[in-house]
Structure 1
Amino acid sequence: MTHINALDPGASPLDYYGFELRRHREAAGLTQKQLGDIVNYTGSLVGQIETARKLPTPEFSERVDAALGTGGLLSRLVTLVMRSQLPAWFQHVAELEARAVEISTFQAFTIHGLLQTKAYARTVLGALDRTDLDDRTEVRLARQRILEKTEPPILWMVLSEAALHQEVGGSATMREQLVHLLSFEGNPRINVQILPFSVGAHAGLQGSFSIFRFVSDPTVVYTEGYGSGHPSANPDTVKDCSLRYDHLQAAALSLRDSAELIQRVMEERYGDQREADGDPVA
């Protein structure tokens, strides 16, 4: 086991976070257990985070910041910690997400990670590999904090109707996910359009892709394979994918009609889920 005094704060964002957590806790004159009691976590968890053996969550960071009066230090650091835990090939993409002023994405089979619920994300990530699944799920969800910024990016998502019917995690998980999509209706910065089956052949048949636009940097197109990502600022690629996205948006349903289709699929395919005692589950 790594001795806490051996932690090198320069080794990684996770080590730096643990070092700062310990430093502020000790400055407050608290034991790990005492701090855990204050923030409603176990002292053992505090110790694991201090020794870089466990990932902190945004919620943990916010509670500790409030308890220790750190001025939001840990809440700022946790973003870097989470990003550092992403697969190496995806870390650059997460940085693009964080810097973009507009994200346009076409998703052929699944909901985009920025709009996934915890249960849906956990099922997607655990489909083949359940190693460290809790941590990997939290890392994915942490990306969504960019939508909570004072000036969040404008997000446009064209989603194939197939993604509404692909039952990921069971009916209850899908219903929760579709409710989540509907919760953005009326939000001008988060827009979801459905590409219906009736469109037939369309400009996105080659697969999902995202377009990141910035204030001054060149536009970047991102495509993804199994275990690899492919960002490109090649002007020809950007021009081609921008044209494809324009056609996908033109073929997709309006925002209002998209919300109605999501609602209809949710009710007809995933209906009200009921527990054994007959009570509905939201």
Structure 2
Amino acid sequence: MLTAAEREQFHRQGYLIRDALSADDVARYVGGVERARAERGERGRMMNLQFLQPGKDVRAIQDVICHPALRAIAADLLGDGIVIDGASLFYADAGVDYRQGWHRDLMQVPDEQIDPRWFSDAYRYNYVQVNIPLTCDPCLWIVPGSHRRPYDEAERRIFGGDPRIAPVDAQPELAQGMQLVLQPGQAAFYNNYAVHRGYAGVLRQRRITIHLGFHSSAHAPTCHFGVLDHRQYTPDYLASLAPDVRAALEAHIAERARHPEVDQYHAWHQQFISKEFEIR
């Protein structure tokens, strides 16, 4: 799926944008989200829904985890044996004030577990995050190349005493920060050890974005694998799913069994998101 130049960009810059979903796919998923919200009587102006989990499932969008182009690009970046992990649906109405501080995705990792070698050119990070907007999405910002180095002087200044996340409106702004304005159906693949943030100020239009995480079974897991709560995937629940979705979750369960240490990563992640978002 990717050219050598695209793979090099991802390695050097920490992100890559590719067209992924067709207009028909986008329309189908938007319709599925709207129906699911209506059926649930959902009135929340902003939500983060883990759409593969029982009770929170949105069946109409679940097959995105099996999308051939998304999985092929992930395989080009990570290696064979692509395994789904994170799967969230972000929804926010126009008028919501959406701001995060600059950060690396380390908030859930205990201090003593953070290894400075993670932020080096040589480190092989076996995970890739993907934002797939179903509406125009201006929220993702990234500092290109920052996954390959410690914080620079400007970053240390705004992070101050907390190396995990900077204040929401820290000044001065990072001159190297780049806003990635994504159109419906595009996909932004990125290394979440790069300095990044979700930031739009007051949203001018509704935001619907699917967020995925992929891991490769060809390599050992790194500390972001283990987002899904596989203990909830009972035989009855799995049997109720579309065959390709069921197969993808069964592959995740098998990979978790191969790497029981991942249960600790899962516990860290759940503790973090329970504070960051209202879990529905």
Query: TM-score range with shorter-chain normalisation?
Result: under 0.3
Q: Which has the higher contact order (CA 8 A, sep 6+)?
A: 2
TM-score relative to the length of structure 1 = 0.25
Larger Cα-atom Rg: 1
Task: Judging by fraction of residues, say which structure has more strand.
Answer: 2
TM-score relative to the length of structure 2 = 0.25
